[in-house]
Structure 1
């Protein structure tokens, strides 16, 4: 059987787990028999610049677009037909002729606290070593615990867990969604609250990116989860207004309850000493454009509240 849809994916175990989920879903939407799945909906593994650079923060070498650039080039060149990205890695602005075609149902958006010795974040002793490469997590952790020693931690999930086990850190912070998708929820000591650790915009969600000309492909509607897409539109609206990237500590999370979409977004100084936050809501039935506008408005309010202090960011 010839390929119907070729999926571009990073090579990490988490990326392959996520892409494998989408491979099965796309195959089901196309009516492909399980035995034919690898031939009809093949995974095309692509090494990105972000995967190659493991010794520095992304903000030092070009930002989170380093995880998507090579896969987007494969889309534009016609080597793959859809890219599966972690939504939080997707920059606010799409390259010309590409689009986010579908947003599958979201996993848990929270951050996870993981430690060999301490049950919760608040149990950490003074001057404990906390491993993370995320400027957002760093700022939020220091906002709650200025005494902590934040140390840079890059690498895939297995590498980070191994370094924790080896004693390089007293605790680390990871996304709950990635641990769940890898079948490792047992390592989570505490699911951190959405209030203290507001997630990165799009955290826990996936983005299915295609060429704009393929937006109406038959399988796309089957994979899009309307409520998740609505929430992501709001969060990414805030991210765009806040210039959200690896260079700024930005959080945003939206949820639908009783027919209303509520969004909270914030910006922090890297040392956690300053925090600017806004929340707002609309009727969910207002749709994605209205959700995006809500995000942009709240993000602009946070941006304006930070004012000249943003220079410190």
Structure 2
């Protein structure tokens, strides 16, 4: 019996049940063990203020290390790039739609938003890119699970909110709001690993879940995670990076900067697929040479001031 550590939000449970079904297809029985993480409990503070690394993974990791559970299913974008001793990223599942999306009850597209529109998101990455496109927007912190966020939108607290398309599709929420506008990757670069599920496991459980690896997603997310790791950027840092395979090459798009969009660095680079294990660091080195680490330190200081 494989015990799966999972957060108890509707999306987290969907993801864990999905993996349980995949295990069952292989003749492996499993059991879900629900628990709350710091990121689930502290909902009145922006994520960047309560420490971005491990907010949604630490408690699950501790349960695995104690031997109470065997694996944990995560949204890969929430998974730090380093792991406690004894735990590994054992599998990366096939990625779905990696785009960010704007949900609104009144406005069909981003361009239709009125001057000074109120937009709900806690992500510094999204804040930065939204303000780069529309400096007039009022970005307001929005925490809670997907259903809570949609409820606040419907109650009129926001003109629009920003969510990941993957979560909308997995939970079948396309009919929950009047308008959903998906941003092109060129407009809003996703977070590392966005739309992929990551299976964290104790080292002795690695072989049990390796069959879940999707080779294409492994290549893309390895580049993305290596890029963020080399910059020493946490899951909540204002960094967007997205890699996509294109024949024998990989197209990588990256952006980082200040939460208020006052300073931004970006680049688009193509690598050979065979170089995917070094591509992320190589791209990060290019950004570091342009002052990325100093810029991220300034971004961290600014994030602490954002209410």
Q: TM-score range by the shorter chain?
A: over 0.9
Shift of 1:215: 1.9
Equivalent residue number for residue 226 of structure 1:
215
Equivalent residue number for residue 298 of structure 2:
312
SS at match of 2:148: helix
Change (3 A) 1:72 1:309: closer
Calculate the TM-score normalised by the size of structure 1. 0.91
Take 1:250 and 1:300, find their aligned partners in 2: how far apart are those partners?
15
1:301 aligns with 2:286: yes
Q: Select which of 7, 20, 23 maps to 1:10.
A: 7
Say if 2:80 and 2:235, in contact at 8 Å, map to a contact too: no
1:216 aligns with 2:207: yes
Equivalent residue number for residue 303 of structure 2:
none
Equivalent residue number for residue 19 of structure 1:
16
Shift of 1:131: 0.5
Deviations 1:117-171 (A, max 9, x none): 1111111110110110000000000000000001010000000000000010110
Q: Select which of 181, 185, 197 maps to 1:190.
A: 181
Calculate the TM-score normalised by the size of structure 2. 0.93
Take 1:103 and 1:47, find their aligned partners in 2: how far apart are those partners?
23
Say if 1:58 and 1:64, in contact at 8 Å, map to a contact too: no
Take 2:90 and 2:260, find their aligned partners in 1: how far apart are those partners?
37
Aligned alpha-carbon RMSD (Å): 1.4
Shift of 1:259: 2.2
Q: How does 1:69-148 map to 2 (within 5 A)?
A: 69-148=58-137
Take 2:78 and 2:180, find their aligned partners in 1: how far apart are those partners?
25
Q: Select which of 49, 52, 55 maps to 2:41.
A: 52
Shift of 1:309: 4.0
Between Structure 1 and Structure 2, how many residues are aligned?
A: 296
Change (3 A) 1:247 1:189: closer
Q: Select which of 188, 196, 200 maps to 1:205.
A: 196
Equivalent residue number for residue 35 of structure 1:
none
Shift of 1:269: 1.1
